[in-house]
Every structure is written in C-alpha cells, then in structure tokens.
Structure 1
Amino acid sequence: MTVPLIAVAHGSRDPRAAATVRALLDAVRRARPGLPVRESYLDHAPPTPARVLSGLPEAVVLPLLLTAAYHSRVDIPRVLREVRGTRIRYGATLGPHPLLVRALERRLAEAGVAVGDPEETAATAVVLVAAGSSDRRANEVIARIARRWARERGWWAVAPAYASAAAPAPGAEVARLLAAGAPRVVVAPYLLAPGYFADRVRRETLAAGAAAVGGVLGAAPELAEVVLERYDHALATERLAVPA
C-alpha cells in the first residue's frame, strides 16, 4: 500500500485559502497518480491533522509552510504527538527551495514583469514579501533568498520585507527602494495562498508606488514538484520521530 501524504496547511477563515490548498494538492495528485493525498489544517478550517490521521496505519505528514518556524517546529509536532496508532514520518517545510524562486518568477511574469530580459531585470528592484515570524531564523532565511536571487538573476536589488512580526514592512520597503533610485519596484509575495496578508500587501505596496505585484505562489507547478520531493525524502530517510 502506498503511504498516504497528509498535508498540513496553516488554515484561514478566508475560503480562498482552502481552495488554493486543494488546487495545489490536485496538482500533486495529477503528477503522482495513485498517491493518496489528504488535506488538513492547523487552525481556522477543518479537518484537523488528528482527524485525517485517525485510523491510518502509516502516513507522511508534510507541512505546507514556506519556512521552518514556530508552526513547523512546535505546533504541528505537538498535534502529531497526540496521534495514536499511526506510524508518522514528518517531512520538511516546502521552503527554502530553488523551485520556489522559479515559482516567484512565474508569478512576476504573469504580472507583466520581463523576468527573462537582462536589461529589464537590471532596472527592476524586487521586494520579496514573506508573512514574517517572531523567529529571527525564519526571517533570515528570507533575507538569504533575497540576496541569492539578486545575485543569480541580476535584479537592481532584491529586498526582504515582512507582512507581520518583523520589519521592514512591504510598503515602506517599496518607498525606500524608489527613494534610493530604483527605476522601478515590483513585489513578489512569498505567500502560499490568498487572504488577509496577500490583500494587504497588494494594497499597501501599490499605494507606495510598486509597478507590479505578483500573485501568491498557490498551485504553481513548481510547488507540486517540491511537495513530491519532500514526500519522497521523508520516505527515504525514515524520519519517524516527531521533533520534541
């Protein structure tokens, strides 16, 4: 029997978020026919991970989170430790991963940014916006992604910003880059699904002068690839213990 993949998303009261998770997992199913894939949510939406895991002899639990922070290190493991009778392999978060940068570029291209044109990228600064975390390690991951992306693609600059819990704020970073002389500034949301943060980021960064704002990563094909890579790695490494 194929070991089921149980995806754990953060959860949101906004129905667009759950619809996006379902679309992503549908893409995973299309890419791997025969793999049992089930959704669950940490908060705000049913079903819970414990409910989905109930009765399963074995499962890979994969956090649909873009950085390793409190939810992946504490909240999900706490839930999993309460599950009885299921042999659980706990996978890594989706990010960081080079394919996620490709997904960011896909969303910018869809918003009209000439990602593949060296002259255009050299004249374009990017604000890379993550949700933000009280865990400084998670925020530093975003800063490292920004530095590497700027170096590899040749953007005028790539600057990290955070929708909550950390500075700088996205709108303030757009304004700073424009004041520093950036010919144009675009915004790349490092967010999985639409909702409050994504809406606010779009509204505030456009008001601050951003030329374009990419869509959330959502069901981009690159994310489905990452989900399956994390699933396969969890199976191969036999990571059975839930982190303390």
Structure 2
Amino acid sequence: MSRAGLPAEGPGSHPLRLVAVTHGAPSAANREAVIRLVDAVASERPDLDVSISFVDASNADVAAALAADAEADAVIVPLVLSAGFHVRTGLSLGLDRIGGGAQLAAELGPDDRIVAVLAERLGALGLADDDAVLLAAAGSNDPRAVRECFETARRLGQRLGRPVTVGFIAAAIPRLPDAIEMIREVHPGSRVVVGPYLLAPGTFYDAATGAGGDLIADPLLLPDRPAPRELVELVLERYADVDADRWERA
C-alpha cells in the first residue's frame, strides 16, 4: 500500500480518509500509473489522509484484503470505470462484513471528464476524417456495466462528431476482434483506431493492442506522465459525494 497526504479532521473531530481501491495483479507500469493518480489526489487535497489499496481480484476474501484500510469514516473510492462484480458485489459485501463507518463511493464512469481524456488520447494519433473509431472496454458480466460502456461510446461519438463502436476484451459481446472485423467489412479501406476505455496499461491494454486495429491510443493513465486533472477532479468528486451525504445524516 502506498500512502500520501496528511491526516486531517472534519466535523465532529472525525478523521477524513480517502482509500482508493484498484483490483487485479498490477504490472509495474500499471501500479506506477495508478499511484500517480492517487498522489495527485493527495496533492490536491492535503487535508485528506489519502491511501491506495491494490486488492487482488482472485482473492475471494475481499473483506480481509480491505480490513487494514477500511477504518471508520473512510470513503472507499473504487478506481474502476464501470462498476461490475468487483464493486457491486465484492467490495460492497466486503465492507458489510467489516462493519464500522467505511462507505463505498460510486465508480468513476460514465463521465464527460473521462470522455474528454479519451478524446485527447485519440486526437494525439491524428484522426483522419474516414477513420473508424472503436472503444475497447474490459467487459463485464454485469449488464449495467456493459450499458455504461455503450453510454461512454455514445458520449465520445458526440464529442468527436463521428460514430464510435464498442468492442469488449472479455466477458461481453461484441468481442474486440469481432468488432474490428465487422468495421472492416462495413468500412473497407478505413483505418480502425482503437480508443482503450482502460484506466492504465496492463493485461487488458496488451490484449487490446494485439486485437488487430490499425492504431491504438494510450490508456487514460500513464506511468511516465502526470495524471490528467480531469481524473483527479473525478476521484475527489466521488469522495465528496459520499462525505457530504454522511455529514448530512450525522
């Protein structure tokens, strides 16, 4: 666990804590990219005690994995773009088992600030008018998470002024290689430009890179660049939504 920021106290002398949680077995590049985001959040709000917890997605006992971080009055902010099983079931049940005052914030997406970063990443590739854009999402067995990915594609299409197709790397259809093949059949001769709807480099990004597109943009976070301000603001907003609601009920 990497911790940044200073502890502070809010109303009623309760400590303010933001625990950013990400799941999976991160590569070095993935870990560094995510830590850059959390460090930026801590720098933006030095009054908060900000920490990060990497929860292994294969760990069946999510509660035990969170126990060290989910202290009373902590707000758990899941660093996920769409809330599938790991957020709606794994983290929620884990916090219920722990008990206490820890609360779970909403997932990061869909959100226009994410769309802005996606558009910037795609723009860096130099999109041509006849390029076909495809949003590559991780995928989920949760229908709501799948719908959220299609909503992000719709918003991105509006921002770019062109249709955006969705392809899933796992767990949902259309699968990314199938979506690329479909685009080639419908738009022969057009470049297929992939915009990864992925927070950071890692296994899913590697899979998207090898799926057969002509170009692929960078993920939202990179290990060698500062975290986009839009994402820093988004994490803090998810925290603030829970924190404000908590004090209203107190």
Q: TM-score, normalised by structure 1?
A: 0.84
Q: Which residue is 1:91 aligned to?
A: 105
Instruction: Please list the CA deviations of residues 171-227 of structure 1 after superposition, one character each: whole Å capped at 9, or x if unmatched.
Output: 222222122126322101111121111101112234xxx2x2111112332211110
Partner in structure 2 of residue 128 of structure 1: 135
Distance verdict in 2 for CA 1:52–1:240, change over 3 Å: farther
Three-state SS of the structure 1 residue aligned to 2:187 is: coil
Determine the structure 1 residue equivalent to 2:6: none
1:44-96: CA deviation from partner (whole Å, max 9, x where unpaired)? 6999321123xx43111111111122111110012112224x41232100111
CA contact (8 A) 1:12 1:18 kept: no
2:165 to 150, 159, 178: 159
Asked whether the 8 Å contact 1:69–1:138 carries over to 2, the reply is yes
Match for residue 19 of structure 2?
6
Q: 2:46 aligns with which of 1, 19, 33?
A: 33
Q: Please state how far the C-alpha of 1:237 moved relative to its aligned partner.
A: 1.8
Match of 2:217?
214
| TM-score computed with the length of structure 2 as normaliser | 0.82
Question: Residue in 2 aligned with 1:117?
Answer: none
Structural mapping, 1:1-244, within 5 Å: 1-2=9-10, 3-43=16-56, 48-53=65-70, 56-84=71-99, 86-110=100-124, 112-114=125-127, 120=128, 122-155=129-162, 157-181=163-187, 183-206=190-213, 210=214, 212-218=215-221, 219-238=227-246
Unaligned stretches of 5+ residues in structure 2: 1-8, 11-15, 222-226
Secondary structure in 2 matching 1:108:
helix
Root mean square deviation of aligned Cα: 2.4
Contact 1:193–1:217 under 8 Å retained in 2: yes
List alignment gaps of at least 5 residues for structure 1: 115-119
Q: Which runs of 4+ in 1 moved over 6 A?
A: none
Report the identity percentage: 34
- Larger deviation: 167-176 or 95-104? 167-176
Could you list the per-position Cα deviations for residues 100-126 of structure 1 after superposition, in whole angstroms to 9, with x for gaps in the alignment? 10111122233x234xxxxx4x42221
